[in-house]
């Protein structure tokens, strides 16, 4: 399977588009920093993966940030979900409660 992306008019020399391709069986990141036609080819797909693509297609998510901004976004997302993962309520971060930083991250997200 081949996906073709045509890019044009970058905002700056440092502009990069990050694409995340996803199906039930496939996850792939692709960075494009130049204008023109770009192809991404997926090989060795299982029969189930091919059926899934034919029925549901491929989900494509685009992130238009630099590396630093993307890292900060990922970190902020993790803050909203990582914490309160054990059954011991006495542990400060991993205890069975929502830590203050996690509560704040979720409120800021909403």
What's the pLDDT score for residue 55? 92
* 2 lies in the same domain as 49: yes
* Contact in structure between 65 and 77 (CB atoms under 8 Å): no
Q: How many domains does the chain have?
A: 2
- Residues near 109 by beta carbon (within 8 Å), at least 6 away in sequence: 80
Percent of the chain at pLDDT exceeding 90: 8
Q: Do residue 8 and residue 57 come from a single domain? A: yes
Partnered with residue 22 across adjacent β-strands are 27, 59
pLDDT of residue 99: 81
| Residues 71 and 58 grouped into a single domain | no
Alpha helices, DSSP H only, in 1-110? 47-56, 67-81, 100-109
Question: What's the pLDDT tens digit per position in 6-15?
Answer: 888 777 666 7
Q: Looking at the structure, tell me whether residues 59 and 7 fall in a common domain.
A: yes
Residue 66: the pLDDT is 64
**Same domain? 36 vs 73:** no
Domain of 43 in residue numbering reads as 1-64
- Residue 37: per-residue pLDDT: 93
Do residues 30 and 21 lie in contact, with contact meaning Cβ atoms separated by under 8 Å? yes
Query: How far is the C-alpha of 19 from the C-alpha of 28, rounded, in Å?
Result: 8
- What pLDDT, on the 0 to 100 scale, is given for residue 14? 67
> How confident is the model over 55-106, as pLDDT tens digits?
999 898 887 666 677 788 888 888 888 777 778 878 776 777 778 888 888 8
Confidence at residue 64, expressed as pLDDT on a 0 to 100 scale: 67
Distance (Å, rounded) from C-alpha 10 to C-alpha 15? 6
Mean pLDDT of 31-46: 87
Same domain flag for 53 and 105: no
Instruction: For residues 5 and 59, state if they share a domain.
Output: yes
């Amino acid at each position: 399977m081949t996906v073709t992306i045509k890019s044009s008019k970058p905002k700056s020399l440092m502009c990069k588009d990050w694409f995340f391709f996803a199906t039930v069986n496939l996850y792939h990141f692709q960075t494009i920093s130049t204008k023109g036609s770009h192809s991404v080819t997926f090989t060795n797909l299982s029969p189930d993966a091919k059926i899934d693509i034919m029925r549901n297609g491929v989900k494509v998510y685009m992130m238009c940030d630099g590396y630093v901004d993307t890292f900060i976004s990922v970190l902020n997302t993790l803050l909203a979900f990582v914490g309160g993962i054990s059954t011991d309520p006495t542990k400060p971060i991993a205890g069975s409660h929502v830590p203050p930083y996690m509560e704040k991250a979720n409120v800021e997200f909403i």
